[in-house]
Amino acid sequence: MKIGFDAKRAFYNSRGLGCYSRDVIRLLSDYYSENQYFLYTPKTHGAISFPHNESICQVRAPQGLHSWGPFSSLWRTKSICSDIQQDQLDIYHGLSHELPYGIEKTGTHTVVTMHDLIFLKNPELFPLFDRYSFRKKYTHGASVADRIIAISEETKSDLINYLGEKEERIDVVYQGYSTVFRNAVTDEQKRIIKTKYNLPDHFMLIICAIERRKNHELILKAMRNPQVELPLVIAGNPSQYKETLLSMIHEYQLDQKVFFIGHVETSDLPPLYQLADIFVYPSLFEGFGRPILESLVMGTPVITSKGSCFQETGGKAARYVSCDDDEELANTIIQITSDESLRKTMIEEGYRHAANFSDEKIAAKLMETYKKIV
């Protein structure tokens, strides 16, 4: 088969959508190398490098006028259809909610991955224009696709309830985790990362964009309990929300117990997870919650939120708290840090649960979806 991907975020997004896109391309090119893969991106300069079978993957970028400035966005959303026809694709997979306008006229079968509908479930977290833009793109992508991939049962349910999609058109295919988490972490690597980010000897960790829906403030409120002795390390790109956190840190007199370390390169994540005593992720809502899985793979106990998709990602290995109950979070932190037997059990359960998200299983599920439409 000839399979094309909307690869913009694979090459230029360092967050969840980019990680997902890179993994899909890597998995399919590794496990199904009999196919040809076409990676469509509006530009190629300064791209993120990632492992994939380059012998069967061809990068496609716009030429001429479409390669310039705003016209490259037009190419990705519409004009790309002529390239798709020219390449005679069997399948085009929109990896992040979108499909080009007019693709239904090309004769190419289509799949779109829907990650979440947070802008509909929590509209107060998004500006009006973003909500309008997302609704337009997501509705179009879901409506014209031959099959929809939801990255969790939670997202599948939301597609049915919020967009009116039919259950029989949706396949749930979970995310996995990067190859960097498959190698053993050495003591020397941990020493280097501890020095690089000036980390304390023991700490709680949260890794994600510093934005309101990630709910960092619940951890700060829990840290008011004097029995919560671990400092907090916050990794991720900041937004205006960081100012709110800084104000709370000052008010709660936590200035010496909270450390912002900014963006962390993917290659630095495995030792960072392993250095942490606990990974705390009290997000209000996610489509999947990839950092939960990464933490389990690295053998770090996880505390995350009740509801949403978190039970799917964390299984029985994680501990769950209400995303508005700082006392419950504080008590859970205290319990894990004071009970070594519980810590060991959570770590062992984490390894077992993470085995459900193997490369081979996810690649096979993706291919099952493709084979339903060709």
Q: DSSP string spanning 274-317? A: HH-SEEEE--S--SS-HHHHHHHHTT--EEEESSTTHHHHHTTT
DSSP state of 76: I
Q: How far is CA 219 from CA 211, 226, 227, 261, in A?
A: 14, 13, 13, 17
Instruction: Measure the CA–CA gap between 133 and 234, rounded to whole angstroms.
Output: 30
Residue 68 has pLDDT above 80, yes or no: no
**37 within 8 A of 29, measured Cβ to Cβ:** yes
pTM assigned to the model: 0.89
Work out the average pLDDT over 149-165: 96
Report the C-alpha gap between 274 and 137 in whole angstroms: 39
Cross-strand partners of 319: 303
Could you give the domains of the chain? 2-173 (3.40.50.2000), 183-356 (3.40.50.2000)
Cross-sheet strand order for the sheet of 57-60: 57-60, 36-40, 2-6, 91-94, 109-114, 147-150, 170-172
> Sign of the CA dihedral 185, 188, 191, 196?
negative
Q: What pLDDT is stored for residue 146 in this prediction?
A: 98
| Section 174-200 average pLDDT | 94
Determine which of 54-68, 92-106, 252-266, 302-316 has the lowest per-residue pLDDT on average.
54-68
Determine the Cα–Cα distance for residues 350 and 365; give it in Å rounded to an integer.
22
CA atoms within 13 A on the CB side of 258: 22
Average pLDDT over residues 339-368: 95
| Longest distance between any two alpha carbons in the chain, whole Å | 65
What is the C-alpha to C-alpha distance for residues 295 and 273, in angstroms, rounded to an integer? 6
Confidence of residue 26 (pLDDT cuts 50, 70, 90): very high
Q: How confident is the model at residue 179 (pLDDT cuts 50, 70, 90)?
A: confident
